Chains A and B, each alone.
Chain A
Amino acid sequence: MFQGLTKRLPPEVKPTRRQFLVAMGGAGAGLVIGSRLDAIKVADAATGPAMINPFVIIAPDNSVTVLSKHLDKGQGAATGLTTLVAEELDADWDQMKVEFAPSNPQLYNNLHWGPYQGTGGSSAIANSFMQYREAGATAKAMLVAAAAQAWGVPAAEISVAKGVLSHASGKRASFGDLADAASKIAVPEKPSLKDPKDFTLIGKHVPRLDIPDKTVGAPIYALDTKRENMLVATIARPPRFGATVKSFDDKEARAVNGVVDVIQIPAGIAVLATSTWPAIKGRDALSVDWNFSTSENRGSDELWTEYRALAETPGQVFRDEGDADGSISRSSDYIERVFEFPFLAHAPMEPHDVTIEFDGKTAEIWTGSQLQSVDHYVASQILGIEMPNIQIHTLWAGGSFGRRAIYDSHIVGEAAQIAKISGRKEPIKVQWTREDDVRGGYYRPMYLHKVRVGFNEGGEIAGWHHRIVGQSIITGTPFEQALVHDGIDHTSVEGVLDSPYEIPNFRGELHTVKSGIPGLWWRSVGHTHTAYVMETMMDELAAAAGRDPVEFRLAYMKDKPRHAGVLKLAAEKAGWGTPVAEGRFRGVALHKSFNSYVAQVAEISLDPDSDHGFKAERIICAVDCGIPVNPDNIAAQMEGGIGYGLGHAIRNEITLTEGEVDQSNFHDYEPMRITDMPVVETHIVPSAEAPTGVGEPGTPPAAPAVANALAAATGNRRTILPFAKEGAGDA
């Protein structure tokens, strides 16, 4: 993250890694951000709701509010965490509510990440599963103890069901009745948790808490933030990454009715207006002269030329087993393929927006914050005030797909720059347009894979040589220590490094390329390209051997029961091995990511009139994600993950010409539409293992499954993405 910060922030706010950790509370001497009670927006010590623990508030009106430490950007995390509490609390689902927790890494850190509060890596349920169950169980134990005291009966004789405590004597009480008394009970050390066989909510159909609001257009997003006297700001950012302002003329911008100020900030030129439209018009009226001496001035063609040349030279070794080169040269045949994956924008449905209110001493921020700890820290550095003097209000986010989890918090950072430099006391909402978003960088980086696989009679794989070229996402971010080892960014090679296929001689090499175009994790990160390469290669090898693609994969996974489990389930449900309907073709893919296992069988039909040659008709998806906390939501995430993966594979790419992004909005970064969407059927493997992620793992297998179906239909193997680049091909 510091690389990004260095580029964008004035020198006085450049943090060191140690300062960052201290501020996060991770290096011993951490700041306590707020006290426990600060976490309760609605709390009133005397008569108001009682906070039973940092995750559970019970109000006299009998509502139970769960504080979600995770942002919900559509993946259902808030409902999931509430389910865990309600389960152990034996609450009635109708009394449950959810709110986002304040920024406080000491209470609300992601347990998989150490001292940071944030959401990502499909970890929301996985890291919170025991924590939120324990929070519910603790609250229940305290309510029971309070009832025992009030009724003068042993706690063991009290039972709790559907939000009611009762005793054989006929005494009954609601949670609300006992909330105040319960909050004064000593917190039990280790509350006992339910046996999973007794679950009544986990694994059952629990409706999402946010859906009623989302069918009436309720004002729940950062876009909807409205404060008195609020100004709206837009920012003219450099047209090339890393360029700076040489000079600017704001005369015409200031003449726009409603524009109140134009200021220069490190990120560009900000136009402040009384509402959104004049802020957009004012920006259009600016004329800015940019300095391109420090910017990335290459286009994607130049980058591809560099990548292709590098692919011919040895890279840094990330995997080396046996003798890949020797065994390939001795094998009877080989297949060599070069794959190219473009830059991709996330383009979440809600363009970025953040509101900041800064009076010189304290600040409040409203946004769909995904890495609260980083947003909080960056704001404090830019505003020059301590973190406890800044409150972050996390709001429901209109999608993210990785885009709101930003290692340098540039979105909040720009808002803080405007607040600080303008010196204005009014609340300021910084509004991004779609153009700002599509052209704004932080893309899934371009990647090239060159793969050569030697095989013998019968298709037996002799050796596999795999070279990857691409830029590192993680280097320079707070996650570097965990994910970059000896110069190898794990996210550049994940999915190849840990492929389930037992291949005797394997050599993996990586070229890490630098460019001035900021990259970022994008739904399923490295698996977006590695799954495609592994799964289309395995498919082609099976075809070359004249073997069934499912059987072929199984033969290379002797000791991978969970991989094999989903593959067999998807194949069975899809009727693999039986004839497919007239005019349809099948393909299969399997991939593990974020500790979840997903296999998909795609059925396509050829469509020579389409821009990419086929229509994905149906995808049968099998997933093993441990204990399924909310099966319907898991299915929804598989559907969404498949649609996201497929839509981009079909027709999305970001390209640059002389450093400038060529695309700008949905007309030339054309999203998947309802007409492109296959029917999706999800089957969940029953499991007693700890739950794992579901937000991302549906994405990686989707594109290779349809590509393999296309190859089955036409023999055409697509190695250049998006598919539309090659048009309808042989269809």
Chain B
Amino acid sequence: MSFNLKINGETRRVDADGDTPLLWALRDELGLTGTKFGCGVASCGACTVYLDGLPTRSCVTPIDSIDGEEITTIDGLSGKASAAIRQAWTEMQVPQCGYCQSGQIMAASALLAETPKPTDEDIDGAMEGNVCRCATYHRIRAAIHRAAEIQEG
């Protein structure tokens, strides 16, 4: 089967079975390896991408369920919120092993784009689905607050 997906502003063709999760289509078929595999069952957020701007678990999103939505991955993530998030992540030295951080940055950037001054409760709500086995949570929270300041300018 062949599918046309709109990814990071380009239309890309994928030849794979329709039940192939978007995660594996991105990684194996399209070489977009920024999106990581953590659980495969929507329990960890490592595979977070956006569908029309909404954080989505690509590991449980079959490619035949995508109906023209714009897909954004960490490899194509841009804009004011994500720039602020990345800068804060670097300033506060958030990543340890780093493996969860593609997903963390996708989730945090979506939060900041939507809610420029997030409270701790906002952060809990937006980030609870993203697991970090290195437990960098303390810095993730601090860095989101810092990114809000950066974004505000």
- Contact A223:B37 (CB < 8 A) given known A349-B134, A639-B138, A674-B123: yes
Q: Are B17 and A257 in contact (CB under 8 A)?
A: yes
**Is the CB of B29 closer than 8 A to any CB of chain A?**
yes
**Is the CB of A224 closer than 8 A to any CB of chain B?**
yes
Contact residues in B for A667 (Cβ distance below 8 Å): 41, 43
Contact residues in A for B135 (Cβ distance below 8 Å): 639-640, 642-644, 647, 672, 677
Shortest Cβ distance from B135 into A: residue? A643
Q: By CB atoms of chain A within 10 A, which of B17, B19, B44, B93 has the most?
A: B93
Residues of chain B in range 25-59 having any CB-CB distance to chain A below 8 Å: 27-29, 31, 33-41, 43-44, 46
Contact residues in B for A396 (Cβ distance below 8 Å): 97-98
Contact residues in A for B6 (Cβ distance below 8 Å): none
Majority SS of interface residues in chain B?
Answer: loop
Q: Are B16 and A277 in contact (CB under 8 A)?
A: yes
Q: Are B128 and A277 in contact (CB under 8 A)?
A: no
- Contact A666:B101 (CB < 8 A) given known A217-B75, A674-B123, A674-B124: no
Map CB proximity to A onto B124-153 as digits: 1 under 8 Å, 0 otherwise: 100110111111111111000000000000
Contact residues in A for B134 (Cβ distance below 8 Å): 74, 349, 399, 640, 643-644
Q: What is the minimal beta-carbon distance from B51 to any residue of chain A, in angstroms? A: 18
Q: Are B97 and A399 in contact (CB under 8 A)?
A: yes
**Is the CB of A686 closer than 8 A to any CB of chain B?**
no
| Of the residues B16, B40, B101, B132, contact of A215 by C-beta under 8 Å | B101
Shortest Cβ distance from B62 into A: residue? A277
| Of the residues B20, B38, B139, contact of A639 by C-beta under 8 Å | B139
Chain B interface residues toward A at CB < 8 A: 16-17, 19-21, 24, 27-29, 31, 33-41, 43-44, 46, 73-75, 86, 89-90, 93-102, 105, 123-124, 127-128, 130-141
Q: Are B133 and A277 in contact (CB under 8 A)?
A: no
Q: What is the minimal beta-carbon distance from A438 to any residue of chain B, in angstroms? A: 9
| Of the residues A278, A399, A433, A678, contact of B99 by C-beta under 8 Å | A399
Chain A interface residues toward B at CB < 8 A: 73-76, 207-208, 210-221, 223-224, 226, 232, 257-258, 275-278, 280-281, 347-351, 396-401, 433-434, 632-633, 636, 639-640, 642-644, 647, 665-667, 671-675, 677-680
Contact residues in B for A665 (Cβ distance below 8 Å): 39-41, 43
Our count of residue pairs bridging A and B at CB distance below 8 angstroms stands at 178
Contact residues in A for B46 (Cβ distance below 8 Å): 349
Some 24 contacts from A to B, beta carbons below 8 A apart, are A73-B97, A74-B98, A207-B90, A214-B101, A215-B89, A217-B36, A220-B98, A221-B99, A223-B33, A277-B17, A280-B40, A347-B133, A349-B100, A349-B134, A350-B38, A397-B97, A639-B139, A644-B135, A647-B135, A665-B40, A673-B128, A674-B140, A675-B124, A680-B138
Q: Are B39 and A666 in contact (CB under 8 A)?
A: yes
Contact residues in A for B132 (Cβ distance below 8 Å): 349, 674
Q: What is the minimal beta-carbon distance from B73 to any residue of chain A, in angstroms? A: 8
Contact residues in B for A633 (Cβ distance below 8 Å): 93
Contact residues in B for A399 (Cβ distance below 8 Å): 96-97, 99, 133-134
Contact residues in B for A401 (Cβ distance below 8 Å): 133
User: Whole-angstrom distance between the alpha carbons of A86 and B99 in the complex?
Assistant: 27
Shortest Cβ distance from A224 into B: residue? B33
Shortest Cβ distance from A399 into B: residue? B97
- Contact A74:B96 (CB < 8 A) given known A674-B137, A675-B124: yes
Contact residues in B for A675 (Cβ distance below 8 Å): 124, 128
- Contact A214:B98 (CB < 8 A) given known A350-B36, A632-B93, A673-B128: yes
Contact residues in B for A76 (Cβ distance below 8 Å): 96
Told that A221-B36, A642-B135 touch, could you supply 7 new A-B pairs with CB distance under 8 A? A73-B97, A74-B95, A214-B101, A215-B86, A351-B37, A433-B40, A434-B39
